[in-house]
Structure 1
Amino acid sequence: MTKISAESTGTATVRKSDTATIGNQPPKPPQSVLDGFSAMADRFMEAAQSEASKRAYDSDIRMLAASGITIPATAAEVIEYLAQFAGKLAVATLERRLISLHKAHLENSFKSPTVHITVKRTMQGIRRTLGARQKHVRPMVKDDLLEAMVMIDRQKPVKAARDRALLLVGFASAMRRSELVAIQVGHLTWLSSGIEIFLPHSKTDQERQGRTVFIPFANGDRCPVSALTQWLDVAEIKEGFVFRAVSRHDRVARHGLSAQSVALLVKSSVARVGGDADKVSGHSLRAGYCTQAAMTGLQPWQIREQTGHKSDVTLAKYIRPVARRSIPTLL
């Protein structure tokens, strides 16, 4: 028996013993995909799935392989897997593993066991027993941001300028952390009223139509546009990535930050003011904008214009209660 391949391609191998012999004909192996496409066609098919989705799929394939799940799997095997890891893994993780297993079967021309009624009932029982609510990080609203600014200014000047700009722009733009670190100088358009940032693509923009985010000027030293200008001037960045690594000697690197760096910055800024870093992440900036905007009375459609959410239902998940009185301005 051959287990699911854990190679980075995410393509699963199959159990050779499951190929059937019809009459006197030799067994015909299942055909997962057609062969012989041109290099251009292969590139287009590869581009149909985002890099983040591919990484998640590959990770699930490796985890399933480590647990002994083979292709083709039976409904009984899948049910036992769910029962074994229910409570150990998040409900959302189990659901994603089922999706990956389903895709692996379809790619190898096998019937997916995940559509079996008993598998669906097992998953439904897990949701009812353990709950399917996802863990939500705490949003960074205006008060949190102002507290963080005080401690950030106590760092070395270049790193302080970078961190100030990253937090303020991250909040005011409501971007995902992957979008934030992907900003390049060529994406910026300076206006008399603020700045426009062009996003070539994002998580929900798989066809790369792009969209533009506008950030207006704000009063005082909490203005994200002024903070961004100061960072670019101090770091002497004229082209390439806007947000970059800064060494302990306060020197600016040529390469851009990773998405994980945003999460680490948010956590460290919260920890400096005595907060619980485990309750925040890079997502706290985006959730903070949505929450603060709702507190100030902006309508859902106005918030979605900034965040890029496709529906009010999805947006509602980002608006989270905080133990504060309503605040009149975003920044």
Structure 2
Amino acid sequence: MKKIRTPQEGAGAALSARSTAASNNAPQTPSEGVLSGFSAIAEQFIAASQSAATKRAYASDLKHFFANGGSVPASPAALAEYLARCAEKLSVATLERRLTAIHKAHLEKNLESPARSETVKRVMQGVRRVLGTKQRQVQPIVKDDLLAALVMIDRQKMPIKAARDRALLLIGFASAMRRSELAAVRVEHLSYLANGVEIFLPSSKTDQERHGRTVFIPHANGERCPVRALAHWLEVSEIREGFVFRAVSRHDRVSRDGLSAQSVALVVKASVERVGGDAKKVSGHSLRAGYCTSAAEKGLQPWQIREQTGHKSDVTLARYIRPVARRNIPSLL
């Protein structure tokens, strides 16, 4: 039997049909870039203006600011109080980075930044005078430290992980690369030569515009050769493409995922702990600092060291040459 619709039901059906048709013909919601006044491609380039590491750091800084009662917009008084409270626990460098993150968050919303106020400037000036601006320096891993660490690495019961750790330490030291650069090395970036290996770095912390540079690592004698250690790691891990340094499971199996910059630091810390050292005094930067210190002790000129490290100035390089090198300076009296 055919059902007879009431006038109300018929009207409702017609209204539903019109609503559906209107929905199908309605223009799609514009992208966030369009809503903000920029095209999608412009938004992509704006997003690429900062490195992923910088974005993560700024996001973490803002999260802490909001968790401690902050907001955007913030008043100069509120920001000054926040900085004063944090000064008891954080370094001056960290405070300055958080101030920059809050400043940029205001500018991105076309708001007046409280960081420009005289009150905030005076608070930061006082923090610098009271706490000083000297940054924490990690202990360098020099040649003797490195050789001791390699001995303990070879005693591991996981041969594949040991091969990875050996190659990572030797390449990290010989190349003087940053931990983020080490983590980003890919098989496609390697060029083997008769006297060593070249590693192409597409970008780095001081090369945000991706001009790229090449680091050369020469052969060394015996088992301490970084080039041979790298080749051995790639052979046993059967890595043919993609990231060179990867995670290794507790079952000694190689992951498809590359190591993070933090994981590089953890490998360095674990290697120092095996020889009875204090892991708190070292970081991923200890290999880079160790190269700079050792090179200075060997008598290499600053320009020669910067050729390897990629430092832009002798002033910046000097921060990586640790005081251990000064013990060898002869007396002039």
- Scaled by the length of structure 2, what TM-score is found? 0.85
Q: Is the contact between residue 87 and residue 130 of structure 1 (CA under 8 Å) also seen in structure 2?
A: no
After superposition, residues 92-131 of structure 1 pair within 5 angstroms as: 92-131=93-132
Counterpart residue number, 2:231 = 229
Residues of 1 paired with 2:181 and 2:155: CA distance? Answer: 28
Taking structure 1 as reference, are residues 34 and 99 closer, same or farther at Cα in structure 2, changes over 3 Å only?
Answer: farther
> 1:38, CA displacement in angstroms?
2.2
> 1:178, CA displacement in angstroms?
1.0
Counterpart residue number, 1:289 = 291
Residue type of the alignment partner of 2:278: D
Indicate the structure (1 or 2) with the bigger Cα radius of gyration.
2
Taking structure 1 as reference, are residues 324 and 148 closer, same or farther at Cα in structure 2, changes over 3 Å only?
Answer: farther
- Does residue 320 of structure 2 align to residue 318 of structure 1? yes
Counterpart residue number, 1:203 = 205
Residue type of the alignment partner of 1:116: S
> 1:108, CA displacement in angstroms?
2.0
After superposition, residues 52-131 of structure 1 pair within 5 angstroms as: 52-131=53-132
Matched residues, percent identical? 72
Counterpart residue number, 1:3 = none
Residues of 1 paired with 2:170 and 2:84: CA distance? Answer: 44
Counterpart residue number, 2:245 = 243
Q: Is the contact between residue 92 and residue 134 of structure 1 (CA under 8 Å) also seen in structure 2?
A: yes
After superposition, residues 1-331 of structure 1 pair within 5 angstroms as: 35-155=36-156, 156-322=158-324
Residues of 2 paired with 1:45 and 1:323: CA distance? Answer: 43
Counterpart residue number, 1:21 = none
Q: Is the contact between residue 173 and residue 287 of structure 2 (CA under 8 Å) also seen in structure 1?
A: yes
Q: Is the contact between residue 184 and residue 242 of structure 1 (CA under 8 Å) also seen in structure 2?
A: yes
Residue type of the alignment partner of 1:193: N
- Scaled by the length of structure 1, what TM-score is found? 0.85
RMSD over equivalenced CA pairs, Å: 1.8
Residue ranges of structure 2 left out of the alignment (5+ in a row): 1-33, 329-333
> 1:325, CA displacement in angstroms?
6.5
Residues of 2 paired with 1:174 and 1:212: CA distance? Answer: 12
Q: Which has the higher helix share?
A: 2
Counterpart residue number, 1:28 = none
Q: Which moved more, 1:203-212 or 1:103-112?
A: 103-112
Residues of 2 paired with 1:277 and 1:323: CA distance? Answer: 21
Residues of 2 paired with 1:170 and 1:230: CA distance? Answer: 16
What's the secondary structure of 2:192's corresponding residue? strand
What's the secondary structure of 1:88's corresponding residue? coil
Residues of 1 paired with 2:247 and 2:105: CA distance? Answer: 38
Residues of 1 paired with 2:69 and 2:98: CA distance? Answer: 14
Residue ranges of structure 1 left out of the alignment (5+ in a row): 1-32, 327-331
Q: Which moved more, 1:127-136 or 1:142-151?
A: 127-136
What's the secondary structure of 1:175's corresponding residue? coil
> 1:210, CA displacement in angstroms?
0.9
Q: How many residues align?
A: 295
Residues of 1 paired with 2:286 and 2:79: CA distance? Answer: 35
Residues of 2 paired with 1:290 and 1:201: CA distance? Answer: 21
